[in-house]
Structure 1
Amino acid sequence: MRWDRFFDDLESQLASEWEAERAALDTEAERLRLSRVALRERLSVLVERESESAPPSFEVADGTVLVADVSGVGADWVALSDARSGALVVPFASIAAIGMPHADILRSARPAPARSILADRMTFGFVIRDLVRRRVSVSVHLSHGRMLAGTIDRAGADHLDIALHEPGTPRRASEVTGHRVVPFGAVAWIRLDSGATLA
């Protein structure tokens, strides 16, 4: 009888040690997986977020806090939208912090579904060139707090040219009050004029 209890105790002890070792390995594997997760992967999970929870808040380089749903994610930018603000484009480099409900933080840390190769190739410059092509009136908010309203005329490899005019009005030569060349690194976020979307 005693030997039976002795072997049962040994078996139980070995099972406990094996479980503890397996849990440690699982924890280490999860840490390794998380160390490889990029911000764009976490943000792409938020595109499918349930709308009944509070939308995320994005603190950006100019000190603005944008509270809006994630509507798209590119290689180095995120598209945001809400009924009040309309369509917004924020480069990752401008994001200082993201606030969201704890459930969304946990969900965004889980493995994301496979993304399209095209989405991973759509850089901030690609989005700016699309805005040039569509002649969309925008408000470009700069990292130091200034806002430039107008239409983006051209987009280079790392900068844009904007013709300044009144917000919400079409670009007409007679309405242009000036021009600016803006490095992409100086852009905190861009608001598309009402009705325009990133499509």
Structure 2
Amino acid sequence: MRWDALFLDLESQFAAADLIAVENEIAERRRLEQASVPLMDRLRGQTGSVVRIRTRCGTVFSGAVHHVGAQWLVLDTGSGPAMIPATAIGSVEGLGRHTAPARSAVTARLGLGSVFRAFARDRTPLTIQLAADGARINGTIDRVGRDFLELASVPSGELRRTDSVAAVLLIPFSSVDAVLSPA
């Protein structure tokens, strides 16, 4: 009879050890899976959700995640869309549990240059907020290089015309904190 109790005790110890080993393996696999998720996939999983993004210069944008590219995202804020480069993100608050990979290879390649070239092609009036001090400059993008853009600065509310251009500014992509609809 004592032998039966001993064997039952040993079996339960081995079963508990096996259960712990399986739980540890599951936890380790979860950590490895989470470690492979890139920032933009994490943000893409929030499409439609309202989040608060604090940029490196300290500006807070709150709104629903609308589009997520390879290096940027667009929030629908109460005052219009705000495109925020991934490199300008300081923190994000209000995330759900989801992640989502890019829907296509094309989406995965839509970097900042692609978006800025589309703005330049369409002569879209916009406001660029700089990362260094949060200054906002109204204008139209004249040209886009590999890692910079040239913005023709115009007074708020005016279209780009030769006589309305106050200055043409070269702005590295890394200096862009946000791109907004003009004020």
Structure 2 length-normalised TM: 0.91
Q: CA deviation at 1:114?
A: 5.7
Alignment-derived partner of residue 45 in structure 2: 45
Alignment-derived partner of residue 136 in structure 2: 147
Alignment-derived partner of residue 150 in structure 2: 161
Aligned-pair identity (%): 33
Answering whether residue 124 of structure 2 is matched by residue 136 of structure 1, we say yes
Are the aligned partners of 2:123 and 2:141 in contact in 1 as well (CA < 8 Å)? yes
Are the aligned partners of 1:148 and 1:164 in contact in 2 as well (CA < 8 Å)? yes
Q: 2:89 aligns with which of 95, 110, 116?
A: 95
Q: CA deviation at 1:193?
A: 3.6
- Per-residue CA deviations over 1:141-173 (Å, capped at 9, x if unaligned) read 111222110111111111111111122332222
Stretches of structure 2 that go unaligned for 5 or more consecutive residues are none
Q: CA deviation at 1:129?
A: 0.5
Alignment-derived partner of residue 22 in structure 2: 22
Are the aligned partners of 2:48 and 2:64 in contact in 1 as well (CA < 8 Å)? no
Amino acid of the structure 2 residue aligned with 1:119: T
Are the aligned partners of 1:136 and 1:193 in contact in 2 as well (CA < 8 Å)? no
Answering whether residue 112 of structure 2 is matched by residue 121 of structure 1, we say no
Distance 1:191 1:29, change over 3 A: same
Distance 1:156 1:113, change over 3 A: closer
CA RMSD of aligned residues (A): 1.8
Amino acid of the structure 2 residue aligned with 1:25: E
- Structure-1 separation of matches of 2:144 and 2:6: 77
Answering whether residue 50 of structure 2 is matched by residue 61 of structure 1, we say no
Q: CA deviation at 1:113?
A: 5.1
Are the aligned partners of 1:72 and 1:78 in contact in 2 as well (CA < 8 Å)? yes
Moved over 4 A (4+): none
1:63-78 aligned at under 5 Å gives the runs 63-78=58-73
- Structure-2 separation of matches of 1:34 and 1:42: 10
Are the aligned partners of 1:62 and 1:141 in contact in 2 as well (CA < 8 Å)? no
- Structure-2 separation of matches of 1:90 and 1:63: 13
Distance 1:19 1:114, change over 3 A: farther
Stretches of structure 1 that go unaligned for 5 or more consecutive residues are 50-54, 195-199
Q: CA deviation at 1:70?
A: 1.1
Q: CA deviation at 1:10?
A: 1.9
- Structure-2 separation of matches of 1:4 and 1:12: 12
